[in-house]
Structure 1
Amino acid sequence: MSGETKGLFVDGKWVKKQRTYELRAPYDGQLLARISMADADDVKKAISGAQRAFQTMKNLPAYQRSEILFRVVQLLKERKEEMARIVAKEAGKPIRAARGELERTIATYQFAAEEAKRIYGETIPMDAAPGGEGRIGMTWREPLGVVVAITPFNFPFNLVAHKLGPAFAAGNTVVLKPAEQTPLSALVIAEIFQEAGLPDGALQVITGSGRELSDALLTDERVKKITFTGSASVGKLIKQKAGLRKVTLELGSNAALIVEPDVVLDKVIPRCVEGAFSYAGQVCISLQRVYVHETIYEEFCKRFIERAKQLKVGDPLDEDTDISAMIHQREAERIESWVEEAVQSGARIGLGGVRNGSVYSPTVLLDVKRDMAVSCREVFAPVVSIVPYRELQEAIEMVNDSVYGLNIGIYTTNIQHALYAARHIESGAVIVNDIPTFRVDHMPYGGVKESGYGREGIKYAVQEMTELKLVSIKTDF
């Protein structure tokens, strides 16, 4: 793989460009490949090809779209270990976590294959209104056309699956722009879809600089929908350029958890450590803020730190590694500065706070104030703050004191407290008796406030990627 030039995937063909960039592994800097850099003309060609292919895709019977997706599932199962190693190398994801991502990716495409055959409409009782007598009303859903999908580095197979799966299930075509650090996974999934029988042009993969390609991707009137997972700042720019076209935005978060005094800490602590530090905290719903009742606060902190000390930091291809490098050294330097600023403002380091190149050690912060960057912004790093509270209402107010609202968790054995929290927490999802990092791939997933809008989860994404049409028939004509 080292040094090989990878091309764009346009109209079912591989197109190598003279202009390339070096793709290097986050952990050790190994040269993985040279990646072709598309320009605006390449984007136009890709959109044109996707527009032509839409005529085929929209007429493809549902069972055939389903069969293509099921073949993708089978091919991924056969190449699962190969795919996991690609993720481990290009994203720096520990190999065990990479395998977990591939399992989820397989499930996501399987859900999409199933959903392709149950895109339903309904009948409307037209005579419920005066003047509606003698009429039949019915609805169905139609594909939109060309979808632009822009995906991040942290789940380069599964978050791509959450764009491609529902788009193809519904009969759309896709121009995919993967993150610059993780193009290999997108390119190999293009190979798999081609082998599975997806019509040429239905999937276009454009690699290169997002900054350079954004206008061409976002302003072309032939694009009917934009689906983006990434930062809130970029999401706002996309929204400005999208106009009246459909947009799904999965943006940032600083996920929080409330821990009530009646829970068994032996059950809670391992999940909390996992939620805070999996993939070095580079997960949209990584556990960033923990609010623990004051009566168990000291014990919780002690046990949490003891458990976190057991995590192994190292090579992502090592079977025993729990945490590896962050995606870029500049990201490790960023979080290092955030932690230093917090300490200078009165926070204490309970564990960690050490950077070694692109690796940042698992870090626990205490005495954190609400206005510190490590609390009010998205850390996207292996850093967690633990804060005491007195009453549940106080904890909910601290949870809601955020511009984000994606997933929030609460551990409690009190059903009234659980339902009260679910009602009053401002988020897209409230996870009771588990960490906010919990997600399965068919559930509705999305946020409020600056966490974005629209929902993923295959059934819900299909709805976002189709248009509802009403047909009214006058029967006594």
Structure 2
Amino acid sequence: MTTTHEFWLAGRRATGDAEFEVHHSYDGSLVGKVSVPTDAQVEEAVDAAVTVAPALAATPAHVRATALDHVARRLTERTEEIARLITAENGKPIKWARGEVGRAASVFRWAAEEARRTNGETMRLDTDPGGVGRFAVVRRFPRGVVLGIAPFNFPLNLVAHKVAPAIAVGAPIILKPAPATPLSALVLGEILAETELPAGSWSVLPVPNEKMPALVQDPRLPVISFTGSDKVGYQIMDSVPRKHVTLELGGNAAAVVLADWSSEADLEWAATRIAMFANYQGGQSCISVQRVIADATVYDALVEKVVAKVRAQVTGDPSADATDVGPLVDENAAKRVESWVDDAVAKGAKVLVGGTRDGAAYAPTVLAELPEDAILATAEVFGPVLSLHRVDSTDEAFAAVNDSKFGLQAGVFTHDLQTAFRAHQVLEVGGVVIGDAPSYRADQMPYGGVKDSGVGREGVKYAMGDFTYEKVLVLTGLDL
């Protein structure tokens, strides 16, 4: 008999009057049942968060830091258990699930450190005659309760990127996990319940998507942190123009391989990284490699290596240590990827490897000669599919990167320092990775995009900035 998982209402376990099932995308087995909060319970969680907000904001830094350290430690201690849960609810290969737990632990560790060292700043104001005797202290204070809306692709780490910064700044958070993958967030709630954070500081509410508009528009929740599709993200922003909304949205990340990246070792490294990060997480990452833009002088040799590396990706049971690529989150996701590839082929693209679906799994796929009018040429595939493009110069390569409505991250394989700085200047993205795929992310660095890839930044310190506002204290009549 499968146990129904309780949710977390203002820091305590609770059950509602309905439930839904979570199934394993690899074999369809039932992973668990999850209780759904009632409207009254959601109201109770919001009211508790609003009530506790002043006390939580005034909590000493050491209290918040100690709680965050505890979460980091317990995640590390329970790594294998939680990784197995992520694989079961998400279909992510266990090797990547273990890495996700490790990253989430580091997010909470970084948050604990930032909570201890966030001191604000001071400034003397007598730089002008009217400021003689005046001195300013600038501190940051929570904007209010945070509504965190998390996606399915990183069901623990992207939850951590909302919860940890909120706790670090002393802002209560209402967390809404993705319906497909709520179990990891509920385990995080279990760990948070072991801390001494005041009741109401956090809730984990598996609210159905159709009931979210009321929460989004609730004036008592002035900050919304959303990670997901650009369509939904901008619908949220447009519906609440007076709220502080941060959006981490999609991408169609490009890996650029320039002419100077031409040795056998260079191309072997580029092909290895491209193949790995076009397919890790089943391609269900906002910064997975979707486009490879290669200089004509290295294109043919690179293509041969990329195809071989993609063909070598081990697919199958995500619980097996050797598996590189598991299923997508569900069969509908795989069918959508299949339809987009079919559309590209019908319009003239050539499949060099892959191009087949088996249930919720889609084979790692490489396309060449992708026509501009194919859906895959402009949209985010969110699946294990990459396309290869030949260019004749660095200018053409960078223009191709920018020829997109998205702008999250780009990878540029070059040894030239001037080219690296030029890429940083001209590429319309939130991050440029030199000598590697665009899929690299350190959890303490600012992470986010431009154009339709969103607004605001994740990365603990930077999210803390989004969750707070500056307040100035001016002292007068001082002998400076």
Compute the TM-score of the two structures, normalised by the length of structure 2.
0.97
The answer to whether structure 1 residue 129 and structure 2 residue 131 are counterparts is no
Q: Secondary structure at the match of 1:131?
A: helix
In structure 2, the partner of 1:272 is 274
CA–CA distance in structure 1, aligned partners of residues 415 and 373 of structure 2: 31
The answer to whether 1:228 aligns with 2:231 is: no
Residue aligning to 2:102: 103
Partner AA of 1:241 in structure 2: S
Match of 2:379 among 377, 380, 384: 377
Contact 1:226 1:242 in 2 (8 A): no
Q: Helix, strand or coil: the match of 1:60?
A: coil
Mark the runs of 5 or more structure 1 residues left unpaired by the alignment.
Answer: none
> What whole-Å deviation, never above 9, does each CA across 1:415-463 have from its counterpart, x for those lacking one?
2222222211101111111110000100010100000010111111111
Alpha-carbon distance in 2 for matches of 1:363, 1:114? 42
Map residues 30-41 of structure 1 onto 2, 5 A cutoff: 30-41=29-40
Equivalent position SS for 1:42: helix
**Residue from 400, 407, 419 that aligns with 1:417:** 419
CA distance in 1, matches of 2:247, 2:227: 6
Is the CA contact 2:16–2:38 (under 8 Å) kept in the aligned structure 1? no
Matches within 5 A, 1:26-105: 26-105=25-104
Distance 2:255 2:77 in 1: 38
Q: Which moved more, 1:131-140 or 1:398-407?
A: 131-140
SS at structure 1 position matched to 2:237? helix
* Deviation at residue 130 of structure 1 after TM alignment: 3.8
User: Do residues 435 (structure 1) and 437 (structure 2) align?
Assistant: yes
> Per the alignment, in what secondary structure is the counterpart of residue 128 of structure 1?
coil
- Asked if the contact 1:40–1:216 (Cα under 8 Å) also holds between the matched residues in 2, the reply is no
Structure 1 residue 351 displacement after superposition: 0.4
Task: Give the Å deviation of 1:280.
Answer: 0.7
Which is worse superposed, 163-172 or 39-48? 39-48
Instruction: Give the superposition deviation at 1:140.
Output: 0.7
Give the 3-state SS of the residue equivalent to 1:223 in structure 2. coil
Structure 2 contact 17–37 (Cα < 8 Å) conserved: no
| Alpha-carbon distance in structure 2 between the residues aligned to 1:333 and 1:249 | 27
Contact 1:406 1:447 in 2 (8 A): yes
Deviation at 1:167, TM superposition (A): 0.6
Distance change in 2, residues 1:39/1:403 (3 Å): farther
Other-structure match for 2:117? 118
Contact 2:228/2:250, CA 8 A, preserved across alignment: yes
> What is the 5 A alignment of 1:385-464?
385-464=387-466
Task: Find the aligned partners of 2:446 and 2:299 in 1 and give their Cα distance.
Answer: 33
Root mean square deviation, CA, Å: 1.3
Q: 1:138 corresponds to which letter in structure 2? A: V
Cα distance in 2 for partners of 1:463, 1:354 equals: 44
**2:194 match: secondary structure:** helix
Matched, 1:215 2:217: no
Give the equivalent residue in structure 2 for 1:255: 253
Residue identity (%): 40
CA distance in 1, matches of 2:423, 2:321: 39
Comparing 376-385 with 131-140, which one deviates more in the overlay? Answer: 131-140
Deviations, residues 148-170 of structure 1 (Å, cap 9, x unaligned): 00000111111111111111010
Contact 1:120 1:140 in 2 (8 A): yes
Report if aligned partners of 1:36, 1:208 keep a CA contact under 8 Å in 2: no
Tell me the amino acid that sits aligned with residue 262 of structure 1: D
Structure 1 Cα separation of the partners of residues 119 and 435 of structure 2: 34
User: Aligned pairs, how many?
Assistant: 475
CA positional deviation for 1:143: 1.8
Deviation at 1:217, TM superposition (A): 1.4
Structure 2 unaligned residues grouped into runs of 5+ = none
* Contact 2:254–2:291 under 8 Å retained in 1: yes
CA apart distance, 1:88: 0.5
Counterpart in the other structure of 1:467? 469
Any idea what SS the aligned residue of 2:126 has? helix
Quick one: which amino acid aligns to residue 239 of structure 1? Answer: M
State the alpha-carbon separation in 1 of the partners of residues 77 and 380 from structure 2. 37
The answer (yes or no) to whether the contact 2:15–2:37 under 8 Å persists in 1 is no
Alignment match of 2:340 (pick from 335, 338, 342): 338
> Helix, strand or coil: the match of 1:268?
helix
Q: Once the 2 structures are TM-superposed, how far is the Cα of residue 197 of structure 1 from its aligned partner?
A: 2.4
Match of 2:157 in 1: 158
Matched, 1:184 2:194: no
The farther-off stretch of 241-250 and 278-287 is: 241-250
Contact 1:226 1:248 in 2 (8 A): yes
TM-superposition CA deviations, 1:276-302 (whole Å, max 9, x none)? 000110001000000011111111111
**Residue deviations 1:82-124, cap 9 Å, x none?**
0100101000010011001111111111000100011122222
The range that moved more, 350-359 or 314-323, is 314-323
Matches within 5 A, 1:334-373: 334-373=336-375
* Residues 446 and 452 in structure 1, CA contact (< 8 A), matched pair in contact too: yes
Distance 2:10 2:435 in 1: 47
Equivalent in the alignment of 2:328: 326
1:29-64 residue CA offsets vs partner (Å, 9 max, x unmatched): 111111122343332211111112223311210011
CA contact (8 A) 1:147 1:173 kept: yes
Name the CA distance, whole Å, in 1 between partners of 2:225 and 2:368: 37
SS in 2 for 1:430: strand
Give the secondary structure class of the aligned counterpart of 1:195: coil
- Residues 5-37 of structure 1: CA distance to partner in whole angstroms, max 9, x if unpaired? 122211222221221111111111111111122
Contact map agreement 2:258 2:414 (CA 8 A) in 1: yes
The range that moved more, 418-427 or 129-138, is 129-138
* SS of corresponding position for 2:117: coil
